[in-house]
Structure 1
């Protein structure tokens, strides 16, 4: 067999056939093309499957609980064991021109109210029957006590008179805001109002309310002489949660109250943080949205109230 030209060139010895070696520059180009193609496909795959999620998180924030709140169910007040609304007698001819006498039959505890209630029996001036009225008990009222209501009644604790007939400095409670409304002011336990001055020309009387504000009322408005009973109720500490539970159970759904700084950020604008702090001003403008109105809403002032309140019952 005749040797091939390749064998002749190599001195008559046959050599294995090999392909020509690829230059390093070409191999580098191939690697770059493969690498970029792989990552372009991977990025397109990730974008297709994760873009809606990224878009959702970038355009929508968390609507916190205080912003999601709205009109709930109709609240039913806790009135199961309530004894009734204490009020003054409906004004009549006897009270306008004279007086009418009643007797305190019993003292009643009204759940949800700090002050006791006195059940007073009056004789009906027009027919043969007894009228039962519920009065706020003034401090010092007792069962069997006679109560007089009218313009000519005496200045005794528990009697009801027009404020125009009372001397200046008199302590009153269950005061009418409008003539004949049967009592609207100074009705809480231990509260009272004070007669300051009279103006006979305009038939107006200036009264100091429990808040310290002074108000001008018609002199024909009626009030009960004395202080509402039960004033020492808040002196006894509650001490435990069980007593607070029973206290508010007969009042309204206002206990317990969780502080906003103790919540999570998804539940309250004051929530979150490595320690409990608000992190912003606690005052909120009146025109803010409903979800932002937490804290001191449209506050006129903040901070502690300085000074002391003077008790007119104490001698100077």
Structure 2
């Protein structure tokens, strides 16, 4: 006991007194001495904001709504000192504006059941490499946005079920709360509005009784507002597009995605929109869309840093076919890494890669004007 007491006294320093005169309560009190154990907060910080050489997406000059100012040529990511192997390559987006607390519980439901492991209603695995992960609650996001009037953004939150961020908004007329997809640059205290149910009478009267998209843009438009494609000027940057008049948003809902209005044909009743993949597509002119770019655009630059972080997300390991036995995969067996001069196939023998086409001939989508570039055409475009 005396040897242990002496070692504690040496750690605490000679200022705490001799070993013979120190009792157990005095040693505990000395351990709480701020001059010995407490350090400045600045010394504990081991995260820094690094900048990548890869440029950000091109900003669009739109009379309706501009994406946030990204004039800097670098991508801001948070890196960490390599105190452990798991944080050596960890890179995370800088999102200091996100809400730090729990979600709004009335708009969430627990995510439970065997469906977490990629299984169908009979219990069979239909999607491989899924299972486990951290406990989650599903956020109920409003993709329709029928409620009119102004809404105040209470906060912007992280959503574990999607790559984009979500915003909790409150209606000024009814006080009803709802979750929407957050546009890039949307912050707490901003006001958003939906004109899907119609333009208010006072705003319509200020435009002379006729809705002019350009005048409507000058008066009210800002990121996060939802309105029909009929009222959106050509060249506007939008996201969360609906396909039919009364349906919810289907397109451009992932982090950093957007679309551009190319043309409108009010006589035939559709608008032509260019998607981010390069596909040019028709939409009903009364289908709705939201102004701006989807939030969290630097999500694609993240690096998880370790395998355990992937397991937290519910992603299980993926084993290569050449590493399996011949009875488990067509590429398995043999000595070394050979796959037997066979073209890449799935575990069930279906060809993969190499441009294997699975679309039915003669059943083209009538809404697609120009298909997205594929193969050599896509490489030439890049």
Which TM-score tier does this pair reach, normalised by the shorter chain? 0.5 to 0.7
Gap regions ≥5 residues in structure 1: 1-69, 95-99, 285-289, 310-316
- Quote how far apart the aligned CAs of 1:194 are: 1.0
Q: Whole-Å Cα distance in 1 between the matches of residues 356 and 140 of structure 2? A: 33
Instruction: Say yes or no: does 1:271 pair with 2:332.
Output: yes
Instruction: Say yes or no: does 1:226 pair with 2:292.
Output: yes
Quote the residue 2:265 is aligned against.
199
CA contact (8 A) 2:153 2:170 kept: yes
Quote the residue 1:178 is aligned against.
244
Counterparts of 1:137-152 in structure 2, within 5 Å, are: 137-150=182-195, 152=199
- Quote how far apart the aligned CAs of 1:293 are: 2.6
Counterparts of 1:1-316 in structure 2, within 5 Å, are: 73=123, 81-91=136-146, 94=148, 100-123=149-172, 129-150=174-195, 152=199, 154-246=220-312, 248-249=313-314, 254-278=315-339, 279-282=341-344, 291-293=348-350, 295-296=352-353, 299-300=356-357, 306-309=379-382
CA contact (8 A) 1:269 1:294 kept: no
SS of the equivalent of 1:212 reads coil
Q: Whole-Å Cα distance in 2 between the matches of residues 304 and 245 of structure 1? A: 37
CA contact (8 A) 1:283 1:297 kept: no
SS of the equivalent of 1:306 reads helix
Gap regions ≥5 residues in structure 2: 1-119, 200-215, 358-373
SS of the equivalent of 1:232 reads helix
SS of the equivalent of 1:270 reads coil
Q: TM-score, normalised by structure 2?
A: 0.52
- Quote how far apart the aligned CAs of 1:291 are: 3.0
**Which of structures 1 and 2 has the bigger CA Rg?**
1
Corresponding pairs, count:
220
Q: Whole-Å Cα distance in 1 between the matches of residues 162 and 251 of structure 2? A: 15
- Quote how far apart the aligned CAs of 1:122 are: 1.3
CA contact (8 A) 1:106 1:143 kept: yes
Q: Whole-Å Cα distance in 1 between the matches of residues 343 and 377 of structure 2? A: 16
Q: Whole-Å Cα distance in 2 between the matches of residues 283 and 305 of structure 1? A: 23
Distance change (3 Å), C-alpha of 1:173 and 1:257: same
Q: Whole-Å Cα distance in 1 between the matches of residues 355 and 306 of structure 2? A: 33
Q: How big is each residue's C-alpha offset from its partner over 1:38-84, in whole Å with a ceiling of 9 and x where there is no partner?
A: xxxxxxxxxxxxxxxxxxxxxxxxxxxxxxxx996157997952342
CA contact (8 A) 2:273 2:280 kept: yes
SS of the equivalent of 2:348 reads helix
Runs of 4+ in 1 over 4 A off after TM superposition: 74-80, 301-305
CA contact (8 A) 1:87 1:183 kept: no
Distance change (3 Å), C-alpha of 1:295 and 1:212: same
CA contact (8 A) 1:114 1:230 kept: yes
Q: Whole-Å Cα distance in 2 between the matches of residues 305 and 270 of structure 1? A: 29
